[in-house]
Structure 1
Amino acid sequence: MSLDVDYYELLQVDRTADEKTLKTSYRRLAMECHPDRNPGCDKSEAKFKAISEAYDVLKDPQKRAAYDRFGKAAFENGGMGGGQGGAGFGDFSDIFESFFGDAFGGRQRGPARGADLRYDLEISLDEAFHGKEAEITIDVASACGTCEGSGATPGSGKRRCNLCGGHGKVRAQQGFFVVERTCPTCHGRGEVIEDPCKVCRGEGRVDERKTISVTIPPGVDEGTRIRVAGRGEAGPNGAAAGDLYIFIHMSRHKVFEREGTTLFCRAPISFTTASLGGEIRIPGLDGAEHIIIVPEGIQSGKQLRQRGAGMPVLQGRGRGDMVVQIDVETPTRLTARQKELLREFRETETGAESPQSAGFFDKLKGIWDELTD
């Protein structure tokens, strides 16, 4: 099982983004995480390599078209050289036929590989933090158990196709041209089943409902794609199965919001704590209680950062940070004694205690004086 992130998501652009938008987003992200600006940071170096690979593919129209249709599978096993400095097609006829059909010929091939499947899985932020073993149920075409995927009744066999002579292709004269097409009798396999299996009717596969266990690693995020090799649909007549792709979606958390590996939350504090300083305790997703030191005189909107208290780094080491935004709460239910103390405090105010408000009203007074002169 392998895991990768969509190239468009890496570059933070829509799938319809034009060349200029791609370039602008790539330059911005590359500048942010370039190794020279983040010396010694393995995370930044890995992200720089990933976005460079994504941009190398999407800036090239041919590579982008192949990626849009096949995903990263277009560049595996000798395909187009995504991220490798522009290596060409590993097998040009494969891609050419996938876009234009068989009309221009091509080598004989066996049964087509089974289709890939997609499954959307929603998990909580806590599950994304710790990882989990998930069981998913899918309806999938699986290899027929009666004929073991061959499509032939047990004990019977296959014979060479009489129409194409076992080549899988037939030729026809059209004016000055000779056009080669897939054989309509054997569908390109070169063989014909003499006695088709009664269960799968010669297809070699039947529809089944399967439950599959999948490991969700710690640190996954919205849009993360997990590939489970060989768990897609079985190919016809014993061909290889496709892959299963699981796309992760995050449910909303009651307290925390997430941006990459950083966790954000808002913490209301009393105006006395804001004035005199103190500490607040935030329970983290790791089960620990994180003590946040509040400096005296803090203002609403100020953010306090707790290093290493955020989300795990996906397929890496370490954790991000927790950022707590302070909201100073004005008291609404005061006792008579508390009101008396506040009045005493107000009588001792000089304006130096709240320089921002004093400065603001000084500016307003200056504007008024200008208008009335």
Structure 2
Amino acid sequence: SVVLLEAGRIAGEASGRNGGQCNTGLAHDYAELARRIGAGRAGAYYRAYDDAVDTVERLIKEEAIDCDFVRCGKLKLAAKPEHYDKLQRVYETLRGSVDPDVQLVPPERLAEEIGSSIYFGGLLQSQGAQMHMGKFAVGLAGAAARLGARICEQAAVTGIERETGRFRVTCARGTLHASDVLIATGNSTQGPFDWFRRRLVSVGSFIIATEPLSDVTLRQIAPTRRNYVTSRIVGNYFRVTPDSRLLFGGRARFALSNPKSDSKSGRILEEAMLTTFPQLAGTRVDYCWGGLVDMTADRLPRAGQHDGMFYSTGYSGHGVQMSVHMGQMMARVMAGDAAANPWADLEWSAIPGYSGKPWFLPMVGAWYKLQDRLH
């Protein structure tokens, strides 16, 4: 007997309106991560992301979810010549250990992949995919309901109390008793989640979408229709949508998402888009929006148990694939298979001086921008 308590609407927040990139590979410099934590652990984490994309694709096929899913590959673009040197080291480390399909795209071949002159080569991870997240999430909810799950929207959790052998969960729509509880929320600013709020930082991510572009223009700017991400700390991500728009996103500003903040960020993103693709001068931007990403200090997910409850969260901008995969993995963990959790060996300390309100974001943003200029 499974009940899902959703504070708002299914996929109503960032989970249903993000960039739709479903990528393999960690968001880290893999060579550096392997050096720091060991090749074995780094490889296991990398494979978890590969497995996550496979999980998404399997569920889409099994449940016949119409969400424009396509395997297109992710191309990480070197924003500086020295970034390409780092990508070469990552390529060599990956190729020799966990990803034999990874490819290095040298500067002289980059025009085959993208119609922009501001990058210096790239790293192509061919298993990445893209999809329409709103369609996917609603389709996934429908599949869960068909299999017997009860989905309660507008049911924000207000209290969780331990009782003998079970939990008493109070929400906006009433009270229920459960033998097990899985906390699967990310950036909740309300409810009894203080322990998680001290460990998760809410960071705004913002997106613009252009008017539909001609086939000629699309062949010029994105001939291979990959998922594209840039190598800067405060970088951008972009792709072409099935209705021929360029979806262009990024941190833009280290601020939370609200209508005023989204508008400011949209203007910054439009400037970055035109720097990347000057040929889009005069192109109309039809949409601009934002949402919150749940970041951990090291940008790795966290999953396990706290106070008798299970949890999985902290996907740090990669929840498209990892949240879906961890739903499957945590079901196995809750059924007794503790080894199914790929993040079980990670400690998770509270962030010093932090209680859930990210007062330090402007300073962090300024520091990251300085690092981008210097390195």
TM-score when normalising by structure 2: 0.22
TM-score when normalising by structure 1: 0.22
Q: Which has the higher helix share?
A: 2
Structure showing greater relative contact order (alpha-carbon pairs closer than 8 Å, 6 or more residues apart): 2
Highest CA radius of gyration, 1 or 2?
A: 1
